[in-house]
Amino acid sequence: MHGLHDRWQGWRRRWQLARLRAPEFAFMFAPPPPNEWVALDCETTGLNVRSDEIIAIGAVRIAGQRVMTSERLELLVRPRGGVSPDSVRVHRLRARDVADGLPVQDAVKRLMHFIGSRPLVGYYLEFDVAMLNRVVRPLLGVGLPQPCIEVSAMYHDHKFRQLPPSHQQGNVDIDLRFATLMADLALPTREAHDALNDAVMAALAFIKLQRLRAG
């Protein structure tokens, strides 16, 4: 099974590599360094993947059981449109705060260099990756090639395994909210909706859940 999966990953990588428009990003398709991941979080002007924009990116490398916050990536991005008052209430980044931010292409390039070929980790990562891919696709010709590890899915599996066998069928109601997850895992929390804080917290949850899975 494992061999098959690896072979499929290898094939996928080669296929994507073949479609890569920008050869300087070939490093993203190299085999990832062992035991390393990158936890990622973006703050956006809203939740619409088509129309909203990224305004902050926080990313941090995970090496084994360590979150390498000393090598963190924290970027502010200048959106083309405005910052809606509703979203300011969430992330507290006002238009003037992001006015000096990078153009989104530059920010995403820096992020790709930071990520390298490491798998991505995050909470509700699908959204962040979709937001990023809007910029990545025109650059590379393909989306981010890394496997994505969803912390809420890991948490779901973890809670599911703890259920008595009689309950382990059908739709199980497990509270997957981030605050619930962090509290249940007894991990320290910091102010949410700060891209870097969120990435670090997701990284910690990932490390602990990985550890719990190993038993």
Partner 1 sequence: MPNAFNFTASPFDCLTQDEQRTVRDAVDVAYFAEGATLLEPGDAPSHLFVLIKGVVAQLDDGQTVATYGPDECFDGRALVAGRASHRFVALEEVVAYELQREAVMALIAANATFGALLFADIGAKLSALAERHSQHQLHSLTLSRVDEAFLRPPLIVNASTSVLEVVRLFQSERATSVLVRDTHSQPARTGIFTTNALQRAVLDGRPLHSLPVGEMSNFALVTMQAGDQLGDAMALMLKKRIHRVVVLEGTRIVGVLEALDLFSFLSNHSHMITVRIEQASDLPGLAEAAAQITRLIGLLHRGGTRVALIAQLVQQLNARLFERAWQMIAPPALQAASCLVVMGSEGRGEQLLKTDQDNALILRDGYAPPADLGALCDRFSDALASFGYPPCPGQIMLSNPAWRGSVSEFSRRAREWLLEPSDEHLMRLAIFMDAHTVAGDAALLDQVRASVAQVAHDNDALLARFAAAVDAFGHGSSWWGRLLGRGDAERLLDLKKEGIFPIVHGARSLAFAQGVAATSTADRVAALVQQGVLDATAGDELVQSLHLLMGLKLKAGLTELDAGKPVSGAVDMARLTTLERDLLKDALAAVKRFKAVLRQRFRLDTL
Query: Interface residues with partner 1 (CB under 8 A)?
Result: 65-70, 72, 186-188, 190-191, 194, 196-197, 200-201, 203-204, 207-208, 211
Determine which helix (DSSP H) or strand (DSSP E) holds 102, and give its type and residue range. none
Structure tokens belonging to residue 187? 């991990």
Least distance (Å) between residue 113 CB and partner 1: 19
Q: Which residues contact 193 (CB under 8 A, 6 or more apart)?
A: 43, 90, 91, 92
Q: Which is nearer to partner 1, 98 or 142 (CB)?
A: 98
Instruction: Tell me the closest approach of the beta carbon of residue 61 to partner 1, in angstroms.
Output: 9
In the complex with partner 1, which residue's Cβ is closer, 130 or 183? 183
Rg (CA), the chain: 18
Give the span between the Cα atoms of 204 and 111, in whole angstroms.
20
Query: Which C-beta is closer to partner 1: that of 172 or that of 187?
Result: 187
Q: Which is nearer to partner 1, 109 or 208 (CB)?
A: 208
CA 108: distance to chain centroid? Answer: 13
- In whole angstroms, the minimum distance from the beta carbon of 214 to partner 1 comes to 9
Tokens of residue 174, six digits? 């497990």
Nearer to partner 1, 34 or 164 (CB): 34
**141 three-state secondary structure:** coil
**Rounded to an integer, what distance in angstroms lies between the CA atom of residue 205 and that of residue 60?**
13
Count other Cβ atoms within 10 Å, centred on residue 132.
24
Residue 194 beta carbon to partner 1: minimum distance, rounded to whole angstroms: 7
Neighbouring residues of 173: CB distance < 8 A, sequence distance ≥ 6: none
Q: At what angle do helices 151-162 and 195-214 cross, to 10 degrees?
A: 40
- Of 92 and 167, nearer to partner 1 (C-beta) is 92
Q: How far is the CB of 114 from partner 1 (least distance, A)?
A: 16
CB of 173 to partner 1, least distance (A): 27
